[in-house]
């Protein structure tokens, strides 16, 4: 379980860092009421596997099923609020030289909490686009400007192609620039704080490996070890909503000791 020495060691590394990179996954949003991917899907989606729904072929085969799943997830996200884990990262950003969040999450909660430098590696569930990108990539469509319902994928008002969520599906390229920036940050950071990811999906799962190879200290926050365990220097075991606020307290305590307070 979480120990004070580990928190203090992590706090010292973060305090001394010129650049802190945070790599976050679905686990940080769990305490906002949003289910993670590899824990059982809740309710009516329990019988579907995300890897069967979040793909271009699933959308072309059954657009209305995929649309309905994303409408369900969008409504879930719309009702959710950032939790103490998200807020602790905003607090951390104010206490270190520079902090960049590299998130796999599509719920937008880091920005809503107040994080100012967020790289959305897998897009954003609150944005929708023409599946044909008829007016450039991406052709964003504001759903409030078109007739639509929860069950049927609507047509693009410009070209008639179906509208889809602006998220990265399995087999698709990540948003141009996002991946490059994420790896640049991973290679330059002094600390990478990995929060709430199973570390199974590439290329995001390689970010902590790159960071460690470049000499960064890798700190993981998770109730259980993930696939990135081999490159983790400090494992802070527990839910993000509890551990990250404790890490902020440890940062303050380290700062007080340094100032001789
Ligand atoms: N705090 C921190 N971590 C938690 C919490 C919590 N309260 N609850 C669960 N976790 C951890 C789990 O132990 C697991 O390691 O969060 C992780 C969630 O893993 P996944 O469900 O695999 O989510 P993620 O790693 O973000 O998935 C990556 O896969 O389906 C794709 O595009 C999708 O972005 C997603 C990607």
Is 122 catalytic? The answer is yes
Same-domain pairing of 185 and 218: yes
- Cβ atoms of 183 and 177 within 8 Å: the answer is no
203 in the same domain as 254 = yes
Mark whether 99 and 227 lie in a shared domain: yes
Q: Which domain, by its residues, includes 248?
A: 4-33+82-122+174-258
Residue 25 CB–ligand 1 contact under 6 Å:
yes
Give 123-135 pLDDT, tens digit per residue.
Answer: 999 999 999 999 9
Q: How far apart are CA 70 and CA 153, in angstroms?
A: 10
E strands within 2-96? 20-24
Per DSSP, the three-state class of 114 is coil
The predicted structure's pLDDT at residue 40: 56
Please give the structure tokens belonging to residue 209. 């490996």
CATH of the domain at 74: 3.30.1600.10
Does 228 lie in the same domain as 189?
yes
pLDDT at 41: 57
For residues 215 and 243, membership in a common domain is answered with yes
For 55-79, how does the pLDDT look when each residue is reduced to its tens digit (9 = 90+)? 999 999 999 999 999 999 999 999 9
Task: Spell out the residues 6+ positions from residue 160 whose beta carbon is closer than 8 angstroms to its own.
Answer: none
The reply to whether 214 falls in a domain is yes
User: Tokens 């994080």 belong to which residue?
Assistant: 115
Report the CATH number that the domain containing residue 191 is assigned in CATH: 3.40.50.1220
Q: How far is the CA of 37 from the centre of ligand 1 (A)?
A: 6
Query: Does ligand 1 have an atom closer than 6 angstroms to the CB of 36?
Result: yes
> Is there a single domain that holds both residue 9 and residue 132?
no
State residue 3's pLDDT score: 76
38 assigned to some structural domain: no
Domain check: are 74 and 138 in the same one? yes
**Is there a domain that residue 21 lies in?**
yes
Contact 17, 191 (CB under 8 A): yes
> Is the same domain home to 142 and 216?
no
Looking at the structure, tell me whether residues 139 and 233 fall in a common domain: no
Expressed in angstroms and rounded, the spacing between residue 260 Cα and the centre of ligand 1 is: 39
In this structure, are 110 and 69 located in the same domain? no
Query: Among 123, 196, 243, which residue has the most ligand 1 atoms within 8 Å of its CB, making it the best to mutate?
Result: 196
In a domain, 215, yes or no: yes
Query: Ligand 1 in contact with 226 (CB < 6 A)?
Result: yes
37, 48, 219: residue to mutate for ligand 1 pocket, most atoms within 8 A of CB: 37
Can you list the residues of the chain whose pLDDT is less than 70? 1, 39-47, 261
Q: Which of 122, 148, 152, 213 is catalytic?
A: 122
């Amino acid at each position: 379980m979480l120990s004070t020495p580990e928190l203090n060691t992590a706090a010292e590394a973060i305090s001394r860092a010129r650049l802190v990179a945070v790599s976050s996954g679905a686990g940080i949003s769990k305490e906002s009421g949003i289910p993670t991917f590899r824990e059982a899907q809740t309710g009516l989606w329990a019988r579907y596997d995300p890897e069967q729904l979040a793909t271009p072929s699933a959308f072309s085969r059954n657009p209305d099923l995929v649309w309905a799943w994303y409408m369900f997830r969008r409504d879930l996200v719309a009702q959710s609020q950032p939790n103490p884990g998200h807020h602790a990262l905003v607090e951390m950003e104010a206490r270190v030289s520079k902090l960049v969040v590299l998130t796999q999450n599509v719920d937008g909660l880091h920005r809503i909490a107040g994080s100012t430098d967020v790289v959305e590696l897998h897009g954003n569930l609150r944005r929708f686009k023409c599946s044909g990108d008829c007016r450039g990539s991406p052709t964003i469509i504001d759903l409030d400007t078109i007739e639509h319902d929860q069950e049927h994928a609507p047509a693009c008002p410009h070209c008639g192609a179906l509208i889809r969520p602006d998220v990265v599906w399995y087999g698709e390229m990540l948003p141009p620039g996002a991946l490059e920036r994420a790896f640049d940050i991973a290679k330059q950071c002094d600390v990478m704080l990995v929060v709430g990811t199973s570390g199974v999906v590439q290329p995001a799962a390689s970010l902590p490996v790159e960071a460690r190879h470049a000499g960064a200290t890798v700190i993981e926050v998770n109730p259980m070890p993930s696939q990135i365990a081999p490159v983790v220097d400090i494992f802070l075991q527990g839910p993000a909503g509890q551990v990250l606020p404790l890490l902020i307290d440890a940062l303050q305590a380290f700062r007080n000791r340094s100032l001789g307070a």
